[in-house]
Amino acid sequence: MSDSGRVRQAATTSDASPAADAQRVPRQVAAAADRLLGAAATRVPCAPVRDLIGTTDTRAAYAVQQRVTAARLARGARVVGRKIGLTSPAVQRQLGVEQPDFGVLLDDMGHADGATVPYARVLQPRVEAEIAFVLGADLAEGPLDLPRVRAAVDHAVAALEICGSRIADWDITLSDTVADNASAGAFVLGREHRTLAAFEPRTAAMEMSVDGRRVSEGTGADCLGDPLAAVLWLARTARDTGDPLRAGQVVLSGALGPMHPLTPGSRVTAVISGLGTVTTAIGEGTA
């Protein structure tokens, strides 16, 4: 297995009839969700879930994600936004995929700029720098295009996403990461807020360092050509699935460069031109 946790996209086949598949999928969705919830609860990464839901059935994968999210909401968590994953060509090359995905941001994932994130909070953590948008208006009714998305954004802010995988060794296919809430773990928002009248996401430049060593760089154009295009993709997708983006939500628009693994005690700094700096540290202990 390579360090990148190479994503496999080989299609699975089944001899089962469509009727048998219709009965099989709900059971397998539940089993996949239970596997991921067990890994999160025990802090022990699990086997991939593609043996249960296949590698290409994104509908089943999102159904697993929804079950896992529902379990966390039942324990008191609150939805505060969404994350878009697999938007950067560099990250797509790292994971071997060619399309974005999305996950849910919960309130207990968020951390203040400069805060220390406990190492045990995120399984197998990897960090990436990106632009976050806070929405000032819903993206629910009517036409959805780039001008509409731009008008809906209240402000942009530099962000770090600490991705995590409940699946051992990041041994994931597209369906595995989708089921695992798009490998969401934690996020950190910077202090400087910029309206889109004062900041152009597509031309922003990013540099990220870990323990003083530069490990990633890129631009806004490395995120689906424009981070706002990523938000547009999410807005359309979220509305199509019956859960549109709402005012006040945070949208992590996707990595601007390669992700980097983290170990206990790591210190991370990202600088995004026009948005300033965002930093975090990873707790020293493994507990």
What is the per-residue pLDDT across 72-91, written as a single tens digit (0 to 9) for each?
999 999 999 999 998 877 77
Q: Is residue 95 pLDDT above 70, yes or no?
A: no
- The answer to whether 189 and 250 are in contact (CB under 8 A) is yes
pTM of the complete model: 0.89
pLDDT tens per residue across span 227-279: 999 999 999 999 998 999 999 999 999 999 999 999 999 999 999 999 999 99
Contacts of 20 by beta carbon, 8 Å cutoff, 6+ apart: none
From start to end of 39-119, where are the E strands?
79-85, 101-106, 110-112, 116-117
